[in-house]
Amino acid sequence: MANKGLKAAELISHPAFKNLKWKLPPTEEGYAEVAKGRSGGPFKLWYEVHGKGATRIVWIMGLGAYRTAWKRQTRYFGLTHDQYTSLVFDNRGAGKSDKPTCRYSTSEMAKDIADLLVQVKWLKDDFTLLDPKQKINVVGVSMGGMIAQELGIFLPSGTLNTLFLVSTWPRAVRTVPYMEHLKQRANMFIPRDIDIQLDGICDRLFSNDFLAVPDTEGDEAYGPGGPNYPTNRDRYAAGEMDKRMDPDGFTKKGFILQAIAAGWHYKSPEQVRDMAKHVGEGRVAVAHGTVDKMLTFNHGELLRDEIGESVEWRKYEAEAMS
């Protein structure tokens, strides 16, 4: 593991820690009640709509992450390019959304999103398009890509314009010896020193080259302003510290319940093919990094192969994509 940066205490005491939030004013924001009549429901999801363009995009975040992790995508597809409208939100169990005590699954989390799309008037009560000319584009990363697969199956055929699955899997495929596999799974839940945690998550999510690049986020348009951290690693780790200091948004219960949903996600080869056909020929894209340490590259290849020749495939010589 390389590119160890500032310690947790140094991240917090750095002047940039006061300026972590991007300035991305939403067109609409609020709570949507979802899961009426379903296990654990009803409960509320926090959402934001950015932009007023005709091309609608739903962004589905991964395990333990907030909607704010889509900051650059929100800026591009919600502020600086007026042909788009972007919907970002916190999944159940994270951020400003509720954290119901029940079993989470990627299929139920997909239904949460379908309910949300009804609330924001992108879909009718029967989950068909409110405006047939405005099909919906869905992007899901990591666990969000698993939820996106379920959404592609659940919504009526013809609802989605495109489905973009990033750094995700149709199901877990073990690529290391069994005991090492168990160790990797257990490490997610073993309490560790915060500095070890920060080094570990940065190492799993990003390449060493990216982590070592000088931070410029404070200077970016719609960015947080203020001074910069020494490196990208320190900027990301500071965001993780800020999240972990949020006792209401980032909870052990919410994280574990989301992790269970991701770990139990399973789509057979037949289900993957049926999903792609249901969404539509040539409307599903898959992207994966070759040395992804979170969800290994073979999972992206598996998803690509099982979708078949109609898939739009992007291979990146990099680690997990942010």
pLDDT tens for each residue of 284-298: 999 999 989 899 999
Q: What angle do CA 114, 117, 123 make, to 5 degrees?
A: 95
pLDDT tens for each residue of 219-229: 999 999 999 99
Domains in the chain and their CATH numbers? 8-20+182-248 (no CATH), 28-173+258-316 (3.40.50.1820)
Q: pLDDT value at position 4?
A: 81
Q: pLDDT value at position 322?
A: 44
- Taking Cα atoms as reference points, which of 146, 108, 143, 158 lies closest to residue 267? 146
Report residue 262: phi and psi, to 5°: -65, -45
Pairing of strands 84-89, 43-50: antiparallel
DSSP state letter for 266? B
Q: Starting at the earlier edge strand, list the strands of the sheet with 28-34.
A: 28-34, 43-50, 84-89, 55-60, 136-141, 160-166, 284-289, 312-316
Beta strands (DSSP E) in 114-249 are 136-141, 160-166
- Specify the pTM: 0.94
Q: pLDDT value at position 279?
A: 98
Q: pLDDT value at position 182?
A: 53
Q: pLDDT value at position 2?
A: 54
**CA gap 307, 236 in Å, rounded:** 33
How far CA 265 is from CA of 170, 227, 262, 282, in Å, comes to 7, 41, 5, 24
Crossing angle of helices 269-279 and 143-154, rounded to 10°: 60
pLDDT tens for each residue of 7-29: 999 999 999 999 999 999 999 99
Instruction: Give the pLDDT means over successive 10-residue stretches in the chain (322 positions).
Output: 83 98 98 98 99 98 98 98 98 99 99 99 98 97 99 98 98 73 60 90 90 97 97 98 97 97 97 98 96 92 98 84 47
- How large a percentage of the chain has pLDDT more than 90? 88
- Taking Cα atoms as reference points, which of 280, 319, 287, 291 lies closest to residue 301? 287
